[in-house]
Chain A
Amino acid sequence: MDRPASLLSKIGTTLFFSVFFAMGTAFCVFLGWAFFQNLTTYTWHATDARVVHNEIVRDRDGEHRFEIRYEYDVEGRRYTGQGYDDPRGRGYAHSDYAVLGRLAARYPVGAACTAYVAPSDPHRAILAHPSLWIGLMIFVPLIFVAVGAGGIYFTWFGKSGTVQSVAGRVRSKQPSVKWIVRLMGIGFTVAGLAAVYFLFIGPVMRVEQAKSWMPVPATVIASRVVTHRGDDSTTYSVDMLYEYEIDGRPLRSNRYHFMTGSTSGRDAKQAIVEAHPPGRAITAYVNPADPFDAVIHRGYPDDLWFGLIPLVFCVAGVGMLVGSFFVGGAAARAGGTAWLPTSHTAGQPDAPFAGLPRSADGRTTLRPTTCPWGKLLGVVFLAVFWNGITGVFVGIAVNSHLAGNPEWFLTVFIIPFVLIGVGLLGGIVYQFLALFNLTAVLEVNTASPALGETLTIDWRLEGRVDRIATLTFSLVGEEHATYRRGTDTVTDKHTFYDEALLKTSDAVEILSGGHLDVVIPADVMHSFEAANNKITWTLKMAGDIRFWPDMNNEFALIVRPIDPTVLWGNVDA
């Protein structure tokens, strides 16, 4: 049952959600104001104008910008405008020179055009309305505002749950962490797919399209390596401007290859720049459908594979989506014996082990609860995921040392992650060796004994039995309680019963197997399974093996409550 939170806890939770609320609100205000500024330009008056000057300039940072001046008349007075789509009158900057080239071609000197003039200030004018897509971005910080406001509200005014009936609590539909995990999984998957599209699929499609582009002679005008300094690392990109002619018209482009963004490794970029000094004659490939669209290296860029890194987010997102359907275990089922665990081979709570093999005398052969292949695949997946992400940062750190510009903070920070990754690799070796381990086979008279009943077990080992030094066999009862701690789901376990059934180092006994009669105590709790709370009974067989992974087999038992008719015959109906 939920306990009312203390005042201190509520204040702490409120502060936590206040950060979300404040940050989200600040970004909403910023984006909202920018959207409003852009929207007001749609009320500006259209008037005839004439271009008097245009050029593409390169600023001190190497960025290219389209600058234009145009003249227009308002109420008999002549004005000169400079803004393209910026109401503040600044030029139009873009990383792709082809975009700026198209603008320059669209607005040649002397061309007539339409200017949009601010009614309150005729000095302010633009040629094109700014994009309103910025308005859609406001939904992102709105999520933070909703999380913050909702968290504060439910902290102080949420239901305590103590007044409702059990029936009411069972029937009411409450927000579940499963839906939060599913939303996060969708977000991770969508973001990962979008990143993969822009960083990998898009460039691959352009490379394929460029196979039909025309080769034309070109001349390098400028070339350099651009350094991009981030918070944790430094990356580099090639900035190269070249000129070519199409139908007697000089055109320029700055696209070297189809990979966008910047990556680590300065040396490769420096080599490209040194091979393309200013004045060098080269071959450019031009899109026949758009002469402004050109590239020098139309093959697959060496760094293209970095564009697959966001797949990790897709994998994580899909994993969260799939995992959210298994969080909490079995759903609460009404009535009957729905609280009795079901085996994974049968879904009938009253016949929990119907799917297990039976011998001619009706005995049941138990199967281990965990499959060694499952453990191996699990640790492989975890190692690939962990080392995949860690490897990227290790590469950045190593490259920084090799380049003579060591990133010491990153180097020290990454060490514990590398150690965990090495441990996971060791885990793969361990689990692989465990595949060749011994297997215990248990034949029982029943896989679901009742309290007070006798469980007869015939056991034997299969495989290299001679390697076992000591064999232990025990009956274990455990409580499992699952709860949420913040955004994490935690399961605590407590062993309330542990009876050693067998402990032997006798090689003959280990080799030949044996028989055990185990009386299930009548004064202990039977098996129980609900969505968040479980009581389990397990037969555990462990074998110490020198210089090899130990054998650990666990076999689930369902311990039933005492049959009421056994206790007192005809029960009052």
Chain B
Amino acid sequence: MPDSRLTLELLDDRTACYPGETINGVASWEFPHPVRRIEVHLCWHTEGRGTEDGSVVETVGFDAPTPVGAEPFRLPVPAGPYSYDGRLIAIRWTVELIAVGVKDLARVSITISPTQEPFVLPAT
């Protein structure tokens, strides 16, 4: 039985965005059998010493998709939180493509900040 395949492509392969922009991309997939729903999430999560926190900020969903297909999506980028690399905490943004009932997923890491670079603490 062939495996599922999910792919995320961002417009112009842009993985760095300004707050307030919109992320444009295309989600494509191949499933050996029909799935109920496909979702594209814009989410942030923390890494580092603290227990992980996370939040799904935006979701675009496609109900009853064809087993093989592709759809464009637009995700508005919020004002924050900025991508961040600190001493104890890091904040990472990702765009994820998941299908309900399927373990596989596609994920693209992105950077959101006014400089399009993560805020990094100066070395002390």
CB contact under 8 A between A337 and B46, given known A494-B87, A532-B52, A565-B20? no
CA distance A164 to B121 in the complex (A): 29
CA distance A523 to B117 in the complex (A): 11
For window 146-201 of chain A, which residues contact chain B by CB distance below 8 Å?
161, 163, 165-171
* Chain A residue at minimal CB-CB distance from B43: A166
Residues of B within 8 A of A333 (CB): 55
Residues of B within 8 A of A255 (CB): none
Report the number of A-B residue pairs with Cβ-Cβ less than 8 Å: 153
- Kindly state whether residue A409 has any CB partner on chain B within 8 Å: no
Residues of A within 8 A of B94 (CB): 166
CB contact under 8 A between A332 and B49, given known A481-B89, A525-B86, A567-B114? no
Report the minimum CB–CB distance from A524 to chain B (whole Å).
7
What sequence of 0s and 1s flags, for each residue 42-78 of chain B, a beta carbon within 8 Å of any chain A beta carbon?
0111111111111111100000000000000000101
Pick from B43, B44, B45, B51 the residue with the most CB of A within 10 Å: B51
CA distance A526 to B78 in the complex (A): 14
CB contact under 8 A between A334 and B55, given known A561-B19, A564-B20? yes
Asked if residues B54 and A561 are in contact (CB atoms below 8 Å), the reply is no
- Kindly state whether residue A470 has any CB partner on chain B within 8 Å: no
- Kindly state whether residue A231 has any CB partner on chain B within 8 Å: no
Asked if residues A165 and B105 are in contact (CB atoms below 8 Å), the reply is yes
Asked if residues A494 and B79 are in contact (CB atoms below 8 Å), the reply is no
Asked if residues B88 and A167 are in contact (CB atoms below 8 Å), the reply is no
Asked if residues A492 and B88 are in contact (CB atoms below 8 Å), the reply is yes
- Kindly state whether residue A479 has any CB partner on chain B within 8 Å: yes
- Kindly state whether residue B32 has any CB partner on chain A within 8 Å: no
CA distance A2 to B81 in the complex (A): 21
Asked if residues B50 and A335 are in contact (CB atoms below 8 Å), the reply is no
- Kindly state whether residue A1 has any CB partner on chain B within 8 Å: yes
CA distance A165 to B57 in the complex (A): 14
Asked if residues B50 and A166 are in contact (CB atoms below 8 Å), the reply is no
Report the minimum CB–CB distance from B30 to chain A (whole Å).
18
Of A170, A484, A560, A565, which contacts B43 at CB under 8 A?
A170
Asked if residues A337 and B86 are in contact (CB atoms below 8 Å), the reply is no
CA distance A532 to B55 in the complex (A): 13
Asked if residues B88 and A339 are in contact (CB atoms below 8 Å), the reply is no
CA distance A459 to B39 in the complex (A): 52
Asked if residues B46 and A532 are in contact (CB atoms below 8 Å), the reply is yes
* Chain B residue at minimal CB-CB distance from A567: B114
- Kindly state whether residue A446 has any CB partner on chain B within 8 Å: no
Asked if residues B50 and A525 are in contact (CB atoms below 8 Å), the reply is no
Asked if residues B18 and A564 are in contact (CB atoms below 8 Å), the reply is yes
Asked if residues A483 and B51 are in contact (CB atoms below 8 Å), the reply is yes
- Kindly state whether residue A472 has any CB partner on chain B within 8 Å: no
Asked if residues A167 and B19 are in contact (CB atoms below 8 Å), the reply is no
* Chain A residue at minimal CB-CB distance from B84: A525
Residues of B within 8 A of A528 (CB): 80-81, 84, 89, 91
CB contact under 8 A between A165 and B22, given known A496-B121, A567-B114? no
Of A335, A492, A532, which contacts B58 at CB under 8 A?
A335
Asked if residues A483 and B81 are in contact (CB atoms below 8 Å), the reply is no
* Chain A residue at minimal CB-CB distance from B51: A532
Residues of A within 8 A of B54 (CB): 166, 169-170, 332
Residue pairs across A and B with Cβ atoms less than 8 A apart, 24 shown, are: A1-B45, A161-B52, A163-B103, A165-B96, A166-B43, A166-B56, A166-B96, A167-B41, A335-B56, A338-B55, A339-B44, A339-B81, A479-B86, A479-B88, A492-B88, A496-B86, A525-B86, A532-B51, A535-B89, A561-B80, A562-B19, A567-B18, A567-B19, A572-B22
Give 16 new A-B contacts, CB below 8 A, not counting A337-B80, A339-B44, A494-B88: A165-B96, A166-B44, A166-B54, A167-B39, A335-B58, A492-B49, A492-B88, A494-B86, A496-B87, A525-B82, A525-B121, A528-B84, A530-B55, A533-B50, A564-B19, A567-B114
